[in-house]
Amino acid sequence: MVHITMNYMTRTRRSSETSKKPNKSRKSTDPTRRSSEKARLKAFADSVGDFIRYWGFRRIHGQIWTVIYLSNKPLSGVELTRTLGVSKALVSPALGELLSHKLILNAGGDLKTKLYIANPDVISVIADVLQTREVRLLDDAQSRFTALSKAPLSKLPNIDFPRLTELGSMIAMARSVLDLLLQNIRDRDLSLLNSMMNLGKA
């Protein structure tokens, strides 16, 4: 009888201790909800990626920049590939290009795992991109226009020179608008940029 009673007390004590232990298998967040939130972030990053292509970048640039910019902590390349569901071969060169344009910055890490954060000064980033890309493209177009317009008429019999002159005026106008836009951005006056973006939506 004593033996049976002792066995019962032992089992009861073990059962009580087990019930008091925290259940480590339970997670603090619902995995279904976390998966849904991750999908929403990726969908938004995809949209920014589509938009940024109008600025001469690739979709992956916009996707990576969006995820890094919205993150409340530095991110690694591995985390980016997991979040976006893309390959490391696509992410690695894109990170280098974003660094070269100062859209993202190095945030430490080690030799194996580098961490990245977004440049918080977005306005200066926009100005830098416009200065290094669009200004260069327009200046190149202006230079080639000048070279072509100086050619003798006899050597370009199939060219409509009045239309060539009109194209030159369009290039010059675009350059003037870009200069004005850059000045507005440097002065932190975004009214012209907002007007241009709204015009593009019309």
The reported pLDDT for the residue numbered 89 is 94
Alpha-carbon span 155 to 94, nearest angstrom = 45
Q: Note the pTM of the prediction, 2 decimals.
A: 0.59
Q: Which residues of the chain have pLDDT under 70?
A: 1-34, 54-55, 188-202
The residues spanned by each domain of the chain are 34-118, 122-201
Q: Which pLDDT tens digit goes with each residue over 10-37?
A: 454 554 444 444 454 444 456 566 677 7
**Residue 121's closest CA among 42, 192, 73, 185?**
185
How far is it, in rounded angstroms, from Cα 48 to Cα 59? 8
**34-118: CATH number:** 1.10.10.10
